[in-house]
Structure 1
Amino acid sequence: MAGKQTIRIALTGHRPSRLGGYDYYSPVNIAIAFKLREHLLSHIKQGKKIIAIGGMALGADTIFALVALKLKKQGFPVQFEAAIPCMNHEKKWPKESQEMWHSIVDQADFVTYTSTMYYQPYLMQVRNEYMVNSCDELIAIFDGSKGGTANCVNYAKKKEKKIIEVNPMALVVEVKGDLLKSDCDVMMHQANCQSTMGSGIAKQIKKTFPEVYKVDYESPLSPKEKLGKYTYARVQNQLKPVEVVNLYGQFRYGTDIQHTDYEALRSAIFGYLEDLKKRTHNISDLKVGVPKFIGCARGGGDWNIVKGILEEAAEAFFVRIYTYKLGN
């Protein structure tokens, strides 16, 4: 990969149980893959070539390998190094996981065994130290818990390596389905400040959960005072009690102009989540849902900007925000 600048990027991260499970096409795992792909592409857009170094474990390592190999297959300047910690690394895994491991090794540009010994737990850290010593940058899929990932991050800090942290508990996750029939603990939608709730998902909420419309039109705030704020009601859906939130991210309604006010929407989301955190103390275990294209389908907003606001909120409050879309 001579010519352009080459950057060596290693990854450390949690096992499937702390991510989206063993299905690498689960919504959470896809969200992690999307974040990794975006980051690698950001380097490529700067004219860099990438050597991605993966530790070949189940979970984050496998997601990283699949992302790197797909970029390579699509013609991007990416090579993959499989850093294998021991001679029988995959032997006790389920058959399907072993097959994926071998497929990744077969497609790797470089295969490095960091030990010629058979499995011993400490060899995982030997592998981690090799990756950190070899890389220019470390990506950590890390929720802050103790364990091998934390040990790798601490070693990278000691070596003064650049670290990019992605908290798997703080993501925007896309799913297919009906938000109002989901298992979310919190459902947020954008409302205008005129107390109409007359179209889109707002109309469905008004019909399904009249209490939510009641807190909207009974708010003591004037329409101008509402902008950037929120109201909410505790309701019972088909599964459990749910908090449904009116986010006042637009003053008026209509299809003539862009009505979504990004700062108002951000203020409403952050204000509500801050209040929720004070009331419940820990919101990282709660499932928060919004309609995909919130503020865009009828408010005229730009989804890339709105999704950025959601990602900012997810990272700030360590909560997963699920975007729901019906159909394909």
Structure 2
Amino acid sequence: MNTVRGDLIELAKAGAFDVIIQGCNCQCRMGRGIALTIKQQFPEAYRADCQTEVGDRTKLGTFTSVDINRDGFNFTIVNGYTQFHWQGDGTLADYDAITVVFRQVKQQFGGRRIGYPKIGAGLAKGDWSIIAAIVEEELAGENHTCVEFVSQ
């Protein structure tokens, strides 16, 4: 796993990644964190999320995706369903769902430059050491980078 500090979205717009992954809940909200920024800058990613059923627990471990092609940049946004809800006590990140999402990302987007934030370790209160190990295993052999957010 490569790790850089910066802004995942700005890096993608600058051509650093072919695919970016964000962790989503199953409630179709995109109301905080990087999800809100993606919703505001790329409403088509939010529309893809809204085409799924609100509150459907079976979304865990699946994803929606949308190709972004405008203003001189091209990349794919993956909305990975890695937690059921954004509210509640304790860990909201679902480690099994994270595993399956990253496994499926490798199957569909292998060979491309993949970027992601610390999915599940922020608002979802997951343990990054556990999640990082999952990502390393599932994306083994791929060109993938964790972007630790630093505002510009």
Tell me the TM-score normalised to structure 1 length. Answer: 0.43
Separation in 1, partners of 2:128, 2:72: 30
Bigger helix share: 1
Which residue of structure 2 lines up, in the alignment, with residue 314 of structure 1? 139
- 2:96 is paired with a residue of what secondary structure? helix
Larger Rg: 1
Which residue of structure 2 lines up, in the alignment, with residue 77 of structure 1? none
Which residue of structure 2 lines up, in the alignment, with residue 163 of structure 1? none
Separation in 2, partners of 1:178, 1:237: 19
CA contact (8 A) 1:176 1:327 kept: yes
Which residue of structure 1 lines up, in the alignment, with residue 5 of structure 2? 176
Where do 1:159-308 residues align within 5 Å?
A: 172-182=1-11, 183-219=16-52, 223-236=56-69, 239-254=72-87, 256-277=89-110, 283=111, 286-291=112-117, 293-308=118-133
CA contact (8 A) 2:61 2:97 kept: yes
Q: 1:218 to 1:323 in 2, by over 3 A?
A: same
- 1:250 is paired with a residue of what secondary structure? coil
CA contact (8 A) 1:255 1:299 kept: no
Q: 1:225 to 1:255 in 2, by over 3 A?
A: closer
Identical-residue share of aligned pairs (%): 31
The letter of the residue matching 1:287 is R
Q: RMSD value over aligned CA atoms?
A: 1.9
The letter of the residue matching 1:322 is T
CA contact (8 A) 2:106 2:139 kept: no
CA contact (8 A) 1:193 1:251 kept: yes
Point out which structure has higher relative CO (alpha carbons under 8 A, 6+ apart).
2
- 2:132 is paired with a residue of what secondary structure? helix
Structure 1 stretches (4+) deviating beyond 6 angstroms?
A: none
CA contact (8 A) 1:174 1:322 kept: yes
Per-residue deviation at 1:220?
Answer: 5.5
Separation in 2, partners of 1:258, 1:215: 26
Aligned residues: 147
Separation in 1, partners of 2:87, 2:55: 20
Which stretches in structure 2 are left out of the alignment for 5+ residues? none
Which stretches in structure 1 are left out of the alignment for 5+ residues? 1-171, 278-282
- 1:189 is paired with a residue of what secondary structure? strand
Separation in 2, partners of 1:268, 1:185: 17
